[in-house]
Amino acid sequence: MSLAARSLNVMLRRFLVRQALELDQSFAAMEQERPDVLLLTATSFNFVHRRRIIEFAEISRLPTMAAYREYPEAGALMSYCSVRADRYWRAAIYVAKILKGAKPADLPVEQPSKYELVINLKTARSLDLEIPRELLLVADELIE
C-alpha cells in the first residue's frame, strides 16, 4: 500500500485487465470486495471499454473517477486531467521547432499547465453524493 493511502487509512487494490475477457473477472472481484470508489488509470484499454466499465460502476453504485472528460460524459462521476487540446498544441510547437532545425535534446521538458475538472451531477445524484460547494465552484464543467 502506498504511503499516501496508508496515511489516509485507505486500502488500495489493483485490478489489472489487459483483455476484454478479463473484465468480468475483475467485476466479480470488485463485487466481492465492495470498494468505495473506482479510479480508472489513463490507459487505452480503459478508454476503449469505458462504457462497459461505467455501466458496471452504475449497477454497482460505485463512484468512478478517471483522467479524461469522456468518462463523466459517459456517466462516470468525474474526471481530472490536463487539457488534451493544449497538450496537442504544445506538441505541435515542438514539432515546428524540430522541423526548423532545433535539436530535440536542446528543447526543455514541459509539464502540462492547463487542467480541467469535469463533474457529472446526474451521476452524483444517482449515488446520493453531495459534491462540496468548493469543488463545484472550481469545476470547469458540470454535466446535468
Domain boundaries in the chain?
3-82+114-143
Q: Is the pLDDT of residue 85 over 90?
A: no
Three-state SS for the chain is CCHHHHHCCCCCCCCCCCCHHHHHHHHHHHHHHCCCCEECCCCHHHHHCHHHHHHHHHHHCCCEEECCCHHHHHCCCEEEEECHHHHHHHHHHHHHHHHCCCCHHHCCCCCCCCEEEEEEHHHHHHCCCCCCHHHHHHCCEEEC
Percent of the chain at pLDDT exceeding 90: 68
CATH architecture assignment, domain 3-82+114-143:
3-Layer(aba) Sandwich (3.40)
pTM summary value? 0.82
pLDDT in tens, 53-83: 999 999 999 999 999 999 999 999 999 999 8
Return the pLDDT at 1.
Answer: 52
